[in-house]
């Protein structure tokens, strides 16, 4: 058999039923060797549960998990070649940094003579040289992250699992560590599954993203696919800031569809499966905040497919961009949110001002309501 | 802290009063032990170490002290493994019959020692082991075990369950995980509990009284026997020895785990 065709990890119909709660429903996915997968979802969506089943701490109540093609339900966690970085790191407080990193090597019976060299090689990889004799309470948050990642990788596992280890860090350090994880992962080429609720992190570091909600996989795609072609309103809304309008399907020709929203007829791209696209079906229409243009003059929006007039309700300064909230009665009662990046145009529009907005048809994603 | 002066005076008076009340018996007995007279009294009549010389010279006391040390050691040897495992299990798992265990843990306060003592005496008598020292060690372990369990489980509740999972993902099996991660994490509780058990066993009077015979009296029983005849200052000296042993235990505790941990443990 060609080994390249065997995924590093795969899940088939995996389910985790806790008493009174189905935490993971019918999960199916494959992850190729050396790739970086992020499981993205809100808190409580079952990400940790899925990860713990892969690590072996929980037994799926249904379905199978394969690591390197081998079904692992009978393999104890300490017999799996899986390194894990925990949400709260779970470093051993009574050991030094070097002892923490040496621990997996001792437990996995590495040649004792080679352990010190290996430990310093990995402390060097995570840039902790000189801190090997520190205890955990003598290290900063970022340094502890580095010890945890070195401990998870030092025995060269087949698979690295990261359970939101960055969630507790402040934003700057978190973004720095995200890139650091990515660098180390690339350097070692280790297959990685990362869990997060931070959509930015998922887009930045991953080769593949799985979005979860209520224990169910919503979409499994590359970051660009996930961003450009969301499968359902949840994904559209979870990745980026998205405006959702309710309407009805008026015409279908392949992917291009027309919808009616109130008295308006607009065009967009169908993202649900074609067989659900019956005329008159209720649909949700999603347009990302950054794909809407805003201008005081209607002429400036000439090349756009759809244009509306509205009133500025709020302007929020977010540093590198402005967030406008507009009231557009034609599109419903919810405020329409728009990101605006043009430096020269900063705060052109004040609260109460009448403005024009518009977007391209290809940027409106249409989902048939289930 | 910037409290008004009057409030500070009240605050410090309370602190000093409390310290005085708590330590008064210790100071009285300490003072009385140094008397040069022949009656136990405070303030002492002059200063001498003659009562210390007297207790060192007294074969009975020395033997009784030695036996008490043996009893306390056996007590620790028995309660350390059982209490440690029970304490960890109690805080880690949801155990069936947890209520019954809670009640057992309250036993030292609900059942008078005389009750437990008589029960143990009957049981040991039936087993035909009365007259040995080791059953006394076991008896003091049994009646004081809840203190050991408390000490251990109070440090085990603070134990992050992920720590054990982390050890497993590092390749450690269940036994390796226990010795390399779980046990070090609860070590402060184990040490605290063991020292507590040692002192409690060393001082145990009532249960010892019921289980000893004339050949194997322990120190508290020996002291009781002397009180029944005549109270002399050598008893104060013996008490001071007890206090010194307890202080040594506390010093050891401080050295091993730090008193802050002990005082903070809930
Ligand atoms: N051991 C367990 N027993 C019962 N319910 C659990 C257990 N672990 C997690 N859950 C529940 O399963 C759901 C998913 O949890 P989790 O996988 O931790 O979510 P996430 O990591 O995405 O925040 C939550 O509702 C959580 O309360
Ligand atoms: Mg989680």
A226/A245 same-domain check: no
* pLDDT given for residue B265 in this prediction: 40
Q: How many other C-beta atoms are found inside a 10 Å radius of the C-beta of residue A360?
A: 16
Segment of A343-357, B90-104, B112-126 carrying the highest mean pLDDT: B112-126
Query: pLDDT over 90 for what percent of chain A?
Result: 70
Taking the Cβ of residue B185 and every Cβ of chain A, the question of whether any pair is shorter than 8 Å is answered with yes
Domain edge (last residue) among A207, A233, A259: A233
A202/A262 same-domain check: no
- CA separation for the pair B118, B266 (Å, rounded): 33
Q: CA–CA distance from B160 to each of A151, A188, B71, B194 (Å)?
A: 18, 30, 36, 23
User: Residue B17: inside a domain, yes or no?
Assistant: no
* pLDDT given for residue B259 in this prediction: 60
Q: Residue B59 phi/psi, 5° resolution?
A: -55, -45
* pLDDT given for residue B246 in this prediction: 83
- Pocket flag, ligand 1, residue A45 (CB < 6 Å): yes
Using a CB-CB cut-off of 8 Å, the residues of chain B touching A82 are 169
- Closest chain B residue to A101, measured at CA: B170
Helices and strands counted in chain A (H then E):
8, 20
A246/A223 same-domain check: no
User: Residue B75: inside a domain, yes or no?
Assistant: yes
Q: In this structure, which residue's CA is closest to atom 27 in ligand 1?
A: A44
A22/A138 same-domain check: yes
Q: What is the pTM of this model?
A: 0.82
A247/A223 same-domain check: no
Higher pLDDT, A297 or A341: A297
Q: Does residue A301 register a pLDDT over 90? A: no
- CA separation for the pair A260, A258 (Å, rounded): 7
Structure tokens at A190: 């280790």
A129/A277 same-domain check: no
- CA separation for the pair B135, B129 (Å, rounded): 7
* pLDDT given for residue B15 in this prediction: 92
Q: B241 is in which domain, residue-wise?
A: 59-263
Residue B105: give its domain's CATH number.
1.10.3720.10
Residue A38: give its domain's CATH number.
3.40.50.300
A289/A212 same-domain check: no
Q: How confident is the model at residue A153 (pLDDT cuts 50, 70, 90)?
A: very high
A351/A260 same-domain check: yes
A191/A268 same-domain check: no
A285/A174 same-domain check: no
**DSSP annotation string for A244-308:** EEEEEEEEEETTEEEEEETTEEEEEEE-S-GGG--TT-EEEEEEEGGG-EEESSGGGGTT-SEEE
Domain edge (last residue) among A188, A213, A233: A233
Distance from CA of A202 to the nearest CA of B (A): 24
Q: How many other C-beta atoms are found inside a 10 Å radius of the C-beta of residue B119?
A: 16
- Closest chain B residue to A159, measured at CA: B169
Q: A337 is in which domain, residue-wise?
A: 241-368
Mean pLDDT along residues A159-182 = 88
pLDDT, averaged across chain A: 91
A205/A224 same-domain check: yes
Domain edge (last residue) among A233, A250, A267: A233
A145/A247 same-domain check: no
Using a CB-CB cut-off of 8 Å, the residues of chain A touching B166 are 84, 86, 90-92
* A43 CA from centroid of ligand 1 (Å): 9
**Residue contact B171–A78, C-beta within 8 A:** yes
Using a CB-CB cut-off of 8 Å, the residues of chain B touching A110 are none
Q: Does residue B61 register a pLDDT over 60? A: yes
Domain count of chain A?
2
Residue A252: give its domain's CATH number.
2.40.50.100
Domain count of chain B?
1
């Amino acid at each position: 058999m060609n080994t390249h065709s065997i995924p590093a990890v795969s899940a088939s119909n995996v389910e985790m039923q806790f008493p009174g709660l189905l935490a993971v429903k019918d999960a199916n996915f494959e992850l190729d060797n050396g790739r970086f997968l992020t499981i993205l979802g809100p808190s409580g969506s079952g990400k940790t549960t899925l990860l713990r089943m892969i690590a072996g701490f929980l037994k799926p109540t249904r379905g199978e998990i394969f690591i390197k093609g081998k079904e692992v339900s009978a393999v104890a966690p300490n017999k799996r070649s899986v390194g894990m970085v925990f949400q709260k790191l779970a470093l051993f407080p009574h050991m030094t940094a070097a002892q923490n990193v040496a621990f997996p090597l001792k437990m996995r019976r590495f040649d004792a003579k080679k352990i010190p060299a290996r430990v310093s090689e990995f402390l060097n990889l995570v840039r902790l040289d000189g801190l090997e004799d520190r205890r955990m309470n003598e290290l900063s948050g970022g340094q502890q992250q580095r010890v945890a990642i070195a401990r998870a990788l030092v025995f060269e596992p087949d698979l690295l699992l990261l359970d939101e280890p960055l969630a507790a860090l402040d934003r700057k350090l978190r973004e720095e560590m995200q890139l650091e994880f990515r660098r180390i992962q690339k350097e070692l080429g280790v297959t990685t599954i990362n869990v997060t609720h931070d959509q930015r992190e998922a887009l930045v570091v991953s080769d593949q993203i799985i979005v979860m909600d209520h224990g169910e996989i919503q979409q499994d795609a590359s970051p660009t696919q996930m961003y450009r072609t969301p499968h359902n309103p949840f994904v559209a809304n979870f990745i980026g800031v998205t405006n959702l309008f309710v309407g009805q399907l008026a015409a279908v020709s392949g992917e291009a569809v027309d919808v009616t929203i109130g008295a308006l007829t607009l065009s967009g791209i169908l993202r649900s499966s074609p067989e659900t696209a019956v005329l008159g079906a209720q649909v949700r229409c999603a347009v990302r905040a950054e794909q809407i243009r805003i201008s005081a003059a209607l002429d400036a929006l000439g090349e756009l497919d759809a244009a509306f007039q509205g009133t500025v309700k709020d302007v929020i300064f977010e540093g590198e961009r402005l967030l406008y909230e507009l009231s557009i009665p034609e599109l419903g009662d919810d405020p329409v949110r728009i990101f605006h990046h043009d430096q020269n145009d900063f705060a052109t529009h004040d609260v109460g001002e009448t403005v024009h907005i518009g977007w391209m048809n290809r940027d409106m994603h249409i989902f048939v309501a289930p | 802290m910037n409290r008004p002066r009057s409030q500070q005076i009240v605050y410090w008076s309370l602190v000093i009063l409390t310290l005085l009340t708590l330590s008064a018996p210790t100071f009285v007995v300490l003072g009385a032990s140094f008397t040069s007279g022949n009656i136990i009294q405070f303030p002492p009549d002059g200063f001498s170490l003659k009562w210390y010389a007297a207790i060192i010279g007294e074969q009975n006391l020395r033997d009784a002290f030695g036996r008490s040390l043996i009893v306390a050691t056996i007590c620790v040897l028995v309660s350390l493994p059982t209490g440690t495992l029970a304490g960890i299990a109690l805080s880690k798992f949801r155990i069936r019959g947890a209520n019954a265990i809670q009640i057992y843990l309250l036993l030292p306060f609900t059942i008078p020692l005389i009750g437990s003592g008589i029960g143990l005496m009957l049981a040991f008598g039936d087993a035909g082991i009365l007259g040995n020292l080791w059953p006394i060690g076991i008896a003091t372990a049994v009646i004081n075990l809840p203190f050991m369990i408390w000490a251990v489980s109070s440090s085990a509740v603070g134990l992050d369950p992920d720590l054990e999972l982390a050890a497993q993902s590092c390749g450690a099996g269940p036994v390796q995980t226990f010795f390399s991660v779980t046990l070090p994490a609860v070590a402060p509780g184990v040490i605290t509990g063991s020292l507590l058990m040692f002192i409690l066993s060393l001082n145990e009077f009532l249960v010892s009284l019921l289980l000893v015979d004339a050949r194997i009296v322990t120190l508290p029983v020996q002291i009781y026997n002397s009180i029944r005849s005549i109270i002399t200052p050598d008893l104060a000296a013996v008490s001071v020895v007890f206090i010194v042993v307890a202080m040594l235990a506390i010093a050891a505790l401080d050295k091993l785990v730090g008193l802050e941990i002990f005082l903070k443990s809930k």
